[in-house]
Amino acid sequence: MFFENRENNPVKRGCIEVICGSMFSGKTEELIRRLNRAKIARQKVEIFKPSIDTRYDEVNVVSHNETAITSTPVETASQILLYAEDASVIGIDEAQFFDDELFNVCNQLANRGVRVIVAGLDMDYLGNPFGPIPKLMAVAEDVTKVHAICMKCGNLAQYSHRTVQNDKLVMLGETDTYEPLCRNCFNEL
């Protein structure tokens, strides 16, 4: 982000933006939209995703409705710093799959003047805060919570209900494995 100081000179200021919500709520779609706007503005954009996320593509970030943007898969959050040297805008998808070091990486980038846009689940399948997202929400300049539609009653949904038996915290899946639910329908299960 650029602001003007008292002498009307542009001053580069970093920030953290978090896009969060349940599965099927449009997090990745919103991330891609913001990154494409930054590209239109001729800003240097780099996009990262965890290398374990291979559901739609091994390299690209792809939304559920198949909108895609080229990314760099990384094993750890600290690797982002190696590839983000000249970027003015950094996009990070599926941030909940990164370790807690993502919090430090995002703060370090923002402190260097980079606009960091992070998308991820804010709650796991049990309804508990998930990964580094809650800490990032606390320090972010902007938090956007998007909602899906409850598959049981049609209200706004903020929970990612797992429909198969599996106790692993991290389990990649789609509509065959998860469904968005509102608070009431989630609690009824």
Q: Which residues are catalytic?
A: 94
Q: How far apart are CA 34 and CA 81, in angstroms?
A: 21
**Rg for the chain (alpha carbons), in Å?**
17
Tokens of 126: 């049990």
Q: Please give the Cα distance from 50 to 54 (Å, whole number).
A: 9
- What element of type H or E holds 118? strand 115-121
